[in-house]
């Protein structure tokens, strides 16, 4: 299922146009991304928590040449599913 399929499903379930449903979805996704980018956790009860993981700079090796290389510090978005979501999937 992609974003268009999701918008169609929401539109059908709630009597909206597909365009309205797509705008709502885009707003939800944008709000989650903006909040996580500000290092704020987004917790959705029964679904899970979106958060930001900080990774420090570190040394590594190029597997092809064995040459040492530096990996820059980075931030990675992380999703941790809620127990209810895990239970439904299993």
pLDDT the model gives residue 48? 97
Please give the radius of gyration of the chain, using alpha carbons only, rounded to the nearest integer: 19
Phi, psi at 49, each rounded to 5°: -125, 130
Residue with the two structure tokens 């797509």: 22
Give pLDDT, residue 37.
96
pLDDT in tens, 12-54: 999 999 999 999 999 999 999 999 999 999 999 999 999 999 9
In CATH, what is the architecture of 40-90?
Answer: Irregular (4.10)
Please report, rounded to a whole number, the percentage of residues in the chain having pLDDT higher than 70.
100
The pLDDT of residue 18 is 96
Q: Is 42 exposed, middle or buried (0-12, 13-18, 19+ CB in 10 A)?
A: middle
Output the average pLDDT for the chain: 95
Can you tell me the distance from the alpha carbon of 76 to that of 12, in angstroms, rounded to the nearest whole number? 34
Position 83 scores a pLDDT of 96
Helix-then-strand count for the chain, H and E: 3, 5
**pLDDT at position 58, please?**
94
Supply the pLDDT for residue 54: 95
């Amino acid at each position: 299922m992609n974003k268009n399929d999701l918008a169609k499903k929401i539109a059908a379930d709630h009597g909206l146009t597909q365009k309205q449903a797509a705008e709502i979805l885009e707003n939800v996704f944008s709000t989650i991304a903006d909040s996580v980018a500000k290092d704020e956790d987004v917790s959705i009860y029964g679904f899970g928590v979106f958060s930001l993981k900080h990774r420090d700079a570190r040394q590594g090796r190029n597997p092809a040449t064995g040459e040492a290389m530096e990996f820059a510090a980075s931030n990675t978005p992380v999703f941790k599913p809620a127990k209810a979501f895990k239970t439904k999937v299993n």
